[in-house]
């Protein structure tokens, strides 16, 4: 996080892990594969939290609300991992790492999209929202923006983060719910 992917060496990573660079190379043939594993593990943690929330009792809209909450909690409770995954530019990332982003990150997004689709099929969404995919994108953009704002706007006199998260998710759900 301090130096970015390009600015950190395997030697420096090994120092922080309290092992030799050779030990890291024993498990990972290069820095890109080490990063891919870190990204994969982080997305797996996020997906596990989202899966638990999506599996709770209630209708699809209630489970969508829980899943959005799980996503935000992950972002706030794991700031370094979240910021690394979603805020830092990824234009120069190796193909192995990008593949993990597309597959594992795509699986997390798919949970939101599937819940939006389930809400649509159950007649729980208001008319005029567009496709469930568009609805999922709007929800994701909104909660992603909230997490980023809470991480980056230090000193702003926000309400408590729990209250702010609860309010935003409540407003989002109210905005898509069929009346």
Structure tokens at 32: 């890109």
Q: How far apart are CA 113 and CA 56, in angstroms?
A: 17
Q: Is 177 helix (H, G, I), strand (E, B) or coil?
A: strand
pTM above 0.85, yes or no: yes
Confidence (pLDDT) at 94: 77
- CATH code for the domain defined by 31-176: 1.10.357.10
Fill in the DSSP letter of residue 74. H
User: Could you say which residues of the chain have pLDDT below 70?
Assistant: 1-6, 87-92
Q: Is 131 strand, coil or helix?
A: coil
Domain ranges of the chain: 31-176
At how many degrees (to 10) do helices 60-77 and 79-86 cross?
A: 100
The pLDDT of residue 50 = 97
């Amino acid at each position: 996080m301090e130096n970015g992917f390009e600015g950190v060496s395997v030697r420096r990573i090994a120092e922080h892990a309290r092992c030799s660079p050779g030990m890291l190379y024993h498990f990972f043939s290069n820095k890109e594969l080490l990063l891919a594993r870190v990204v994969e593990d982080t997305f797996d943690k996020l997906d596990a939290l989202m899966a638990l929330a999506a599996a709770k009792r209630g209708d699809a809209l209630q489970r969508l609300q829980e899943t959005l909450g799980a996503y935000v909690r992950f972002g706030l409770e794991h700031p370094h991992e979240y910021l690394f995954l979603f805020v830092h530019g990824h234009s120069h990332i190796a193909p192995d790492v990008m593949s993990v982003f597309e597959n594992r990150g795509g699986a997390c997004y798919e949970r939101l999209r599937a819940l939006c689709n389930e809400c649509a099929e159950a007649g729980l969404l208001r008319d005029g929202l567009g496709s469930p995919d568009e609805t999922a994108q709007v929800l994701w953009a909104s909660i992603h923006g909230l997490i980023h704002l809470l991480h980056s706007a230090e000193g702003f006199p926000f309400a408590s983060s729990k209250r702010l998260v609860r309010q935003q998710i409540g407003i989002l759900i109210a905005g898509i719910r069929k009346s």
